[in-house]
Structure 1
Amino acid sequence: MASRRPPDRKALIRSAASDLFLRHGYHNVSVAEVTAALDLTPAALYHHYRTKRDLLLHAVLDGFDTVDAAIREAGDLDTALRSLAALVAGPKSLLSVWERESRNLEGSQRLTVLERRTGIVTGFAPLLRAERTELDAAGAELVARAVLGALGGQSRRSSVSRREDERLMVRLASAVARCPLPAAGPSPRPDRRPGDGAASGVRRPRRDRLLTEAIRLFDERGYQSVTVADIGEAAGIVASGVYRHFAGKTDMLVAAMNRGGEHLRTGADRALAHARDPREAVELLLGAHIDVTVKHRHLVGILIHESAQLPDRERVTLRRYQADYLDVWVQALGAARTDRDAVDLRTTVQSAHSMIHFAVRSEPALPGPALTERLAALGTALLLGE
C-alpha cells in the first residue's frame, strides 16, 4: 500500500530547513540536505516551495508566527515573558534566525520580514504600556525590542534544567521590561551613513573606503552574497583596482574582523583601567560595548554573523578572542554579583550583548546619544538589577 502524504508536510519541511539554516547558515545548506533530512525528493519540496530562498522566507515567517502568537495570546506582561522564555528554552531558538538569515532574502521578501518584525514589536508594546503607563509609544517599542533582543540571542543550555533555564530567561527579560527609561532628549534626527569625506573636500584613502564598504555589504547582504566587484562599485573603484589593496574578499573580511576586535578590546581595556570598583567596571564595560555597537553597527554585525566564513586559522583566533572578551565580562560581573553562579553570569552577559545588538540595529527613531543613554539603563538593569 502506498504511503500517504503527511498532512503537515509543508510545516515539516519548514521546520527541517529552519533547523539546518540556523545550524549551518543558508548558503551552506542545499535543497538536497533539506529533503534528505525528511526522506523526500527535491520534486516534493519544490511542489510546496519554488526556490530555496522562498523556503527561507517561510521558515523565518514561521518563527514570527510562533513569537507573535505567544504575545497575542498573553493577557499581561508576565504571561508574555513566560511564553517567550519557554520558546527560548525550547530545542532551538526561534528568534535568532530573524537577523542573520533574513539578510539572504531579496527586496520584497526583506520588506515582508521587516513589516512582520515591526508588527511583533508594536504588538508587544501595549502589554508594556498597560503596566507602565509612563512609557510613550517610542519608549515602549524600544523596551519591546530590548526584551526580544535579550531573549533572541539565547539558546537551550544543557548544563541546567529547562525549568531553571526558563526562570533565568524570565528574570532577565523582566528586568529589561520594567527598567525605568531616562528621557529621550532632543528630537530624533535621521542617522546618516558615513560618507567618503568628499563633502569636506578630503577623500579617505582608497583602502579605507574599500574596507568600509566591504563591512557594510557583508553585514547587509551576508559575506557569500557579496562580490569584489560589488565592493569596488560601492567604493567608486574599478574591480581591478581593488586588488591593489586587498588580495581578495577573504582578505577584506579578515581585516574587518581584526578592526572590530580592536575596537572592542580597546573599549574594554579603557573601561577596566578606569573602574574604581566591580560595579563601575561592569557599567564602564557596558558603556564601551554600547558605544562600539552604536558607532560601528555593521562591524559588530559581521563579528557576530560572519566568523564562520573566515579561514581556519583566523576563525580559531577570533573565537579565542571572543571567548576571552566574554570571560572578562563574566569575571567583572561575578565580582559585582557574588550571588550568581557561572551559568547565570555567562547567560546574563550574552543576553546583554544580544539585547544591545538587536536594539541598535532595529531602533529606527532615536539619535545616537539618546539611544546610548537608554541602552545603558536597560543594560544596567539586566546585568546588575536585583
Structure 2
Amino acid sequence: MNAAPIAAARPRNRRQLILEAAGRVFSERGYHAASMEEIAAGVGISAAALYRHFPNKYALFAECANVMVDRLAAVLGEVSSEAGPAEVLGAVTRVAVAHRASGGLYRWEARYLDHEDRRLLRVKFARVVGRVTEAVRRSHPADEAVRQDRPSPGGVRQDCPSPDAELRAAAALGAIGSITTHHVSIAQRRAEEVLLASALRVIATDPAATVGRAHSVELPAQPVPRTRRAEILAAAVPLFARDGFAKVTNGQIAEAVGLVPSALYRHYPNKRDILVAACLQAAGLLAQAVDRSLEGVTDPHDAVVALAAAYVAYSFEHTALTSVAEAEVVGLPADLQEPLIRAQRDHIAVWEQQLRLLRPELAPRSARVLVHAGFGVVVEAGRRLRWRDTPEHRSAVTALVVGALGLG
C-alpha cells in the first residue's frame, strides 16, 4: 500500500512573510496602486488565503505601517537604558538596513492611515525619538547645559530642556531611515557602517553652528499662476500634500479653482497628468536651485555646503511641492517615472561628485548613501520643526546635513 502524500506544512511565520511581502509592494507601488493579489503572489499563496489573515487591504497596510517602528521599539527595549548613542543608534541602524525594502512606509505612505491610526503611529515614533534623545543628552551634557542657559528670543532664560537634543535625535534617525527610500546597492555591513557614522556625526553637531552660505541662498521663484492650467496645478499641489493624491478628487481641485469638474479636462486629460506636472515642476525648481548655488564656487567644501543650504532652503520654501513629488512618484507608471528618476539621479550625481572631491576615500556607493542620508536629515529635522520657515531653522538643518556628510 502506497503511503499517502504528505501535505505541505503551513509556515509558522506566514503572517510575518505576508507583512514583509506587503511592505515591499506598498513601498514600491504606493498604497492605492498595490493589490492584494500582487501581495499574495509575493508570498506564494492565493488572495483568498491572504484574506484569512487580514480582512482587507487597509488592515494589512495599517499593520505594515507600524512594523518598522515596532521593530525599533523592540530592539531599543533590549538596549540598556544607560547605553550611549553608538549602541542605541547602532541597534536602530541594524534594523533599518536589514528591512530597508519594506521599512519606509512610515515616512510617506502613512498619510493614508485613518486619523487615529496616524496618531498612534506618531506616538510610537515619538517614543523612539525620545529614547535616542535621552542618549544624546547623556553624551553631550555640557552642550545641553549651555543651551538651557541660553536666553530665548524674548530675553527670558529657558527653564525647560533645550529642543536641540530632540532635533539632533530626529535628524540622526532621518539619516538612518534614508536607507529605506532608495535603491543604492551596497553591502549590508558597509551600509550599517556608513549610516551609523553619519548619525553619530549628526548628534555631535551643534545646530547653531554657522556653516557658510546658509543665509545667502537665492532660490528661483515658483512660477506665478498666469494661466488656468497653472492655477489648477497650484491648487492641486496643497491638496495632494494634505490628503494624498489618491484621495483628492477632480471635484475638489475644480472647486479650489472655481471651475466645474468637467472643465479640468480641457487643461489636463486626467488627474494623473496634474501629478506629473507637479513632479516635473519640483524637479525643475530643484535643478535651478542647484545651478544657482554652485555659481562661482570652486572649492569642494564650499560646493557641498552650498548644495546643502540650497536643498534645505528649497525644502522649506516648497514643502508641499517637495512632499508630493517624493511621496507620489512611486504610484506613477514606469514610463512617466523615467524622466523624474533621471532628474533625481542627475541631482544626486552633482552631490556625489563634489562630496568625493572633498572626501576621496569614499567609494561611489558610500557617497550616494551619504547623500541620501543628508536628504533624510532634512525630512525628519524639517518635520520636527513643523517646516516653519525661518533663517534660524534653515541654518540649523543645514548644519545637521553638513554634519551627516562628514565635512569636518
Please tell me the TM-score bracket, short chain as reference.
0.7 to 0.9
Q: Does 1:179 align with 2:205?
A: yes
Match of 1:233 among 255, 280, 290: 255
For the 8 Å contact 1:87–1:93, the answer to whether it is kept is no
C-alpha spacing 1:284/1:105, structure 2 compared with 1 (3 Å): same
Paired position in structure 1 for 2:196 = 170
For the 8 Å contact 2:316–2:389, the answer to whether it is kept is no
| Per-residue CA distance 1:186-228 (angstroms, 9 max, x = gap) | xxxxxxxxxxxxxxxxx98654443233222323333333221
Q: Does 1:154 align with 2:179?
A: yes
Q: Does 1:352 align with 2:374?
A: yes
How far apart in 2 are the matches of 1:286 and 1:16?
Answer: 35
C-alpha spacing 1:258/1:23, structure 2 compared with 1 (3 Å): closer
Paired position in structure 1 for 2:156 = none
C-alpha spacing 1:365/1:225, structure 2 compared with 1 (3 Å): closer
Write the letter of the residue equivalent to 1:120. V
Match of 1:248 among 254, 270, 291: 270
- Which range is displaced more, 337-346 or 42-51? 42-51
Write the letter of the residue equivalent to 2:120. T
How far apart in 1 are the matches of 2:42 and 2:257?
Answer: 42
C-alpha spacing 1:39/1:323, structure 2 compared with 1 (3 Å): closer
- Which range is displaced more, 152-161 or 230-239? 152-161
C-alpha spacing 1:69/1:272, structure 2 compared with 1 (3 Å): same
Q: Does 1:292 align with 2:314?
A: yes
How far apart in 2 are the matches of 1:220 and 1:263?
Answer: 21
- State TM-score, norm by structure 1: 0.85
For the 8 Å contact 2:319–2:387, the answer to whether it is kept is no
Q: Does 1:36 align with 2:44?
A: no
Q: Secondary structure at the match of 1:339?
A: coil
Write the letter of the residue equivalent to 1:256. A
What's the CA shift for 1:285? 0.9
For the 8 Å contact 1:215–1:299, the answer to whether it is kept is yes
Runs (5+) with no aligned partner, structure 2 = 1-5, 145-160, 210-224
Paired position in structure 2 for 1:122 = 130
What's the CA shift for 1:68? 1.7
How far apart in 2 are the matches of 1:365 and 1:286?
Answer: 16
Write the letter of the residue equivalent to 1:87. V
How far apart in 2 are the matches of 1:158 and 1:319?
Answer: 13
Q: Does 1:50 align with 2:46?
A: no
For the 8 Å contact 1:228–1:249, the answer to whether it is kept is yes
Match of 1:101 among 102, 109, 118: 109
C-alpha spacing 1:37/1:95, structure 2 compared with 1 (3 Å): closer
Paired position in structure 2 for 1:331 = 353
What's the CA shift for 1:164? 2.1
How far apart in 2 are the matches of 1:258 and 1:157?
Answer: 21
What's the CA shift for 1:256? 1.0
C-alpha spacing 1:367/1:312, structure 2 compared with 1 (3 Å): closer
Paired position in structure 1 for 2:167 = 142
* Matched positions, count: 369
How far apart in 2 are the matches of 1:335 and 1:8?
Answer: 47
What's the CA shift for 1:24? 2.8
What's the CA shift for 1:330? 0.9
What's the CA shift for 1:172? 0.8
For the 8 Å contact 2:24–2:101, the answer to whether it is kept is no
Q: What does residue range 284-323 of structure 1 map to in structure 2 within 5 Å? A: 284-310=306-332, 313-323=335-345
What's the CA shift for 1:317? 1.8
For the 8 Å contact 2:201–2:406, the answer to whether it is kept is no
Q: Secondary structure at the match of 1:243?
A: helix
| Per-residue CA distance 1:122-152 (angstroms, 9 max, x = gap) | 2321111111223334212211211111111
How far apart in 1 are the matches of 2:120 and 2:227?
Answer: 38
Paired position in structure 2 for 1:64 = 69
Q: Does 1:267 align with 2:293?
A: no
For the 8 Å contact 1:297–1:360, the answer to whether it is kept is no
How far apart in 1 are the matches of 2:355 and 2:325?
Answer: 23
C-alpha spacing 1:182/1:362, structure 2 compared with 1 (3 Å): closer
Paired position in structure 2 for 1:188 = none
How far apart in 2 are the matches of 1:260 and 1:38?
Answer: 36
What's the CA shift for 1:254? 2.4
For the 8 Å contact 2:27–2:102, the answer to whether it is kept is no
For the 8 Å contact 2:174–2:379, the answer to whether it is kept is yes
How far apart in 2 are the matches of 1:313 and 1:9?
Answer: 34
- Which range is displaced more, 142-151 or 238-247? 238-247
